[in-house]
């Protein structure tokens, strides 16, 4: 029954999207171009080099030769395999969706179990420093100091979420669930680092363009305006910021950029931006889910963890900026 409802929902959404494309072709092309340019100018330069480097490293060993004095405390602290250290490190340095891709690749290479992947996704999927400090803080919030506060709060919330969930909710699963290693496509296992990275970047680009068009559809039909006005009547946040949040929940970059014209004070804008970058948005979650499909982890639980992560980052950011700036 659930599968039938899901199929009907997806089919109906696709039909509605096709109707929109026929009625508003000019707007559709504009939003598709915007997404394509964002992918070309921002995603490829920042993500592709990291992907090539990580593919080369993980082709040899799961922990990439990191010393045990780094990997062993990591495994103990987060109750996860030591091989996951590289997922945490490169996920932190490069941002979405590289953490999910590395975890999936290590799973396919028999260096992580499914439960390990589930645990790592609790805290190893996050926005990169370049986006947090450069795009959100310098370009949107116009403050480098806020950028470093945001980055520290993001890392702190990731670590705290990982420790709490992996040592409580998922600890009990660890003693009972033993999963069989993945049987991935041999072509995927043997493809070159450059080829693998190119395919991954193109997949990310597809999601960026898709959700750019979806967000444009909602904006053109004034759906986001209606919902933001409705929500603002119940909570003490202006409708513009709520509209930015709704946009960011769908696609992180669009929501963050819209904060540029927000009339709110710095602490509130920073907190809203912090939630967006830590939650990632539906677009980022879809990208991660695509890379993680071979692992068959619990995606709703992953989304739940991202909501916790985003909330903690938002609260930490607001408190720190109110106290220190």
Structure tokens at 134: 């450069």
Distances (CA, A) of 99 to 163, 254, 303: 17, 22, 15
* CA atoms within 13 Å, Cβ hemisphere of 265: 5
Q: What is the 3 state secondary structure string of 66-119?
A: CCHHHHHHHHHHHCCCHHHHHHHHHHHHHCCCHHHHHHHHHHHCCCCCHHHHHH
45: exposed, middle or buried (Cβ count in 10 Å: 0-12, 13-18, 19+): exposed
In order along the chain (325 residues), what is the average pLDDT of each group of 10 residues? 65 78 86 85 79 73 68 90 89 87 88 92 89 86 90 94 87 53 50 78 87 86 86 84 89 85 89 93 92 90 94 95 87
Cα 187 from chain centre = 27
Q: Residues for the chain: how many in total?
A: 325
Query: pLDDT tens digits, residue range 178-220?
Result: 454 545 554 454 457 788 888 888 888 888 888 888 888 888 8
293 Cβ contact list (under 8 Å, min separation 6): none
**pLDDT recorded at residue 269:** 92
Mark residue 281 as left, alpha or beta (left: phi above 0; alpha: psi -120 to 50; beta: remaining): left
**pLDDT recorded at residue 119:** 93
Angle at 306 between CA 305 and CA 312, to 5 degrees: 90
**CA–CA separation, 150 vs 320, rounded Å?**
9
189: exposed, middle or buried (Cβ count in 10 Å: 0-12, 13-18, 19+): middle
Give the residue among 187, 257, 196, 240 at the shortest CA–CA distance from 41: 257
Q: What are phi and psi of 191, to 5 degrees?
A: -65, 155
């Amino acid at each position: 029954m659930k599968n039938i409802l899901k199929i009907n929902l997806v089919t109906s959404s696709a039909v509605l999207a096709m109707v929109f494309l026929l009625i508003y072709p000019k707007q559709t092309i504009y939003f598709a171009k915007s997404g394509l340019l964002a992918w070309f100018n921002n995603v490829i330069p920042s993500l592709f080099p990291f992907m090539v480097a990580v593919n080369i490293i993980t082709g040899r060993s799961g922990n990439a030769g990191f010393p045990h004095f780094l990997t062993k405390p990591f495994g103990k602290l987060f109750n996860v395999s030591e091989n996951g250290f590289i997922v945490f490190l490169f996920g932190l340095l490069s941002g979405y969706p590289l953490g999910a891709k590395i975890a999936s690749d290590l799973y396919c290479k028999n260096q992580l179990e499914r439960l390990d992947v589930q645990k790592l996704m609790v805290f190893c999927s996050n926005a990169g420093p370049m986006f947090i400090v450069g795009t959100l803080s310098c370009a949107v919030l116009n403050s480098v100091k806020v950028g470093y506060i945001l980055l520290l709060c993001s890392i702190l919330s990731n670590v705290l979420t990982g420790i709490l969930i992996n040592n409580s909710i998922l600890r009990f699963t660890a003693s009972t669930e033993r999963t069989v290693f993945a049987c991935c496509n041999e072509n995927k296992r043997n493809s070159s680092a450059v080829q693998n990275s190119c395919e991954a970047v193109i997949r990310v680009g597809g999601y960026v363009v898709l959700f750019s068009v979806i967000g444009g559809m909602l904006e053109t039909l004034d759906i986001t305006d209606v919902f933001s006005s409705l929500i603002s009547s119940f909570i003490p946040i202006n409708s513009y910021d709520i509209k930015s949040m709704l946009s960011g929940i769908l696609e992180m970059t669009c929501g963050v950029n819209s904060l540029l014209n927000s009339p709110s004070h710095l602490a509130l804008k920073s907190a809203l931006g912090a939630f967006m970058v830590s939650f990632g948005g539906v677009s980022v979650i879809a990208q991660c889910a695509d890379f993680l499909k071979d692992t068959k982890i619990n995606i709703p639980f992953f989304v739940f963890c991202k909501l916790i992560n985003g909330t903690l980052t938002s609260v930490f950011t607001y408190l720190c900026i109110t106290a220190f700036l």
